[in-house]
Structure 1
């Protein structure tokens, strides 16, 4: 295999791998059982309660 063929193959499989990982991340973020966790974390910066550390 030439360098050009290896480069094209790596680029193609890199794109496929990136797309698969992206779809997994989106699926995880939109999974119904994670909704409550993400809603709680989204409100965390707006809460005045400082749980844990002092500021």
Structure 2
């Protein structure tokens, strides 16, 4: 039962911090200034006829 408690404390502190940092990184990566062209290119891939 001691392992459960240790894992729960880890998830409540460092796990939450890691998830928050990952979320912030994804938001920054998505909204970066040069991202619009690459996102538009990726969005049009299914519509291209080779």
State TM-score, norm by structure 1: 0.68
Whose Rg is larger?
1
RMSD: 1.4
Question: Any stretches of 5+ residues in structure 1 without a counterpart?
Answer: 51-55
CA shift for structure 1 position 25: 1.0
State TM-score, norm by structure 2: 0.73
Number of residues of Structure 1 aligned to a counterpart in Structure 2: 47
Runs of 4+ in 1 over 3 A off after TM superposition: none
What does residue 37 of structure 2 align with?
36
